[in-house]
């Protein structure tokens, strides 16, 4: 679930938001939450077919959480009424599941999370329903790849700001029509709460951010658009849309840093397959 890019409202330490650093045991529990979440997203993505409603996807996702004995961290969050966000076409983030029927060619970002033994997970995927417009497929592919470049930067970098630099550099290097990187919504720390310090920007700035060190867990979630990056919130006070009506995309994983390396908490293989081409070998949490 994306955060507004305003500074996190956390207890301040020496003028900076206080970051929660996890023990290996706590991160292993977060991985268990991530595995449940991955299965739930698998089910929701598989169910995203023409004629299905976004509420149907929410039901499928919720059933996996219930079977695993996990708790949704989206449901009731500041009053949010569902277990996933379903953002279709020009909807950027925080789309509320309901009676909207998916049509052939729709692009939908499914964002969800859960809690296991008090520890949180958060992840999002984009799927194109039925037959894909090649430009929508390119949008999703570039967004997903940008996320993995950001995760690789977490493994190789020294500061959290290196993540946004890597995402921006990758997106800017892709040939073809330029894609916009949203700046209003960013990634975040995660752990005993879903949204924590630090903010994780998806674009290049001069701000280095905090040092990357063991115990840091981040939700890395670039959001790209085919048009302008201006957004607006609908009357439901949740759903964010592009003001020009152009299509949007989101991919997200939760990732842990430990003494031996990184591990993608919401990926069954820790991110090994996707990170290999980027020269990163994730290491299971000791």
Q: Which residues are annotated as a binding site for a divalent metal cation?
A: 111, 122, 188, 221, 252
Binding residues for substrate: 94, 195
First to last CA, the chain: 28
CB 224 within 8 A of CB 142: yes
Count of beta carbons in the 10 Å neighbourhood of residue 71: 19
CB 283 within 8 A of CB 262: yes
The C-alpha atoms of residue 221 and residue 142 are separated, in whole angstroms, by: 13
Binding residues: 94, 111, 122, 188, 195, 221, 252
Tell me how long the chain is.
286
Count of beta carbons in the 10 Å neighbourhood of residue 122: 30
**Please, which residues bridge with residue 218 across strands?**
189, 255
Query: Which of 197, 156, 149 has its CA nearest to residue 172?
Result: 149
Q: Spell out the residues 6+ positions from residue 166 whose beta carbon is closer than 8 angstroms to its own.
A: 149, 150, 152, 153, 157
């Amino acid at each position: 679930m994306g955060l507004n890019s305003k500074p996190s409202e956390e207890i301040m330490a020496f003028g900076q938001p206080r970051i929660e650093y996890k023990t290996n045991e706590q991160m292993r529990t977060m991985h268990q939450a991530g595995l449940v979440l991955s299965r739930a997203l698998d089910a929701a993505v598989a169910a995203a077919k023409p004629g299905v409603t976004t509420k149907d996807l929410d039901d499928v996702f919720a059933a996996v959480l219930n079977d695993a004995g996990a708790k949704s961290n989206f449901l009731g969050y500041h009053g949010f009424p569902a277990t996933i966000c379903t953002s279709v076409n020009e909807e950027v983030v925080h789309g509320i599941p309901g009676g909207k029927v998916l049509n052939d060619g729709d692009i939908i970002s499914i964002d969800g999370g859960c809690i296991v033994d008090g520890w949180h997970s958060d992840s999002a995927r984009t799927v194109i329903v039925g037959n894909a417009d090649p430009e929508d497929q390119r949008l999703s592919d570039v967004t997903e790849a940008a996320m993995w470049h950001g995760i690789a930067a977490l493994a190789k970098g020294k500061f959290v700001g290196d993540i946004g630099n890597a995402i921006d550099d990758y997106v800017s290097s892709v040939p073809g029509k330029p894609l916009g990187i949203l700046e209003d919504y960013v990634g975040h720390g995660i752990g005993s709460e879903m949204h924590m310090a630090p903010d994780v920007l998806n674009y290049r700035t001069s701000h280095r951010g905090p040092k990357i060190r063991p115990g840091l867990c981040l939700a890395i979630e670039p959001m790209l658009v085919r048009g302008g990056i201006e957004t607006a919130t609908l009357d439901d006070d949740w759903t964010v849309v592009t003001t020009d009506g152009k299509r949007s995309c989101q991919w997200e994983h939760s990732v842990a840093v430990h003494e031996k390396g990184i591990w993608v908490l919401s990926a069954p293989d820790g991110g090994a397959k996707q990170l290999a081409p980027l020269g990163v070998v994730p290491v299971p949490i000791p």
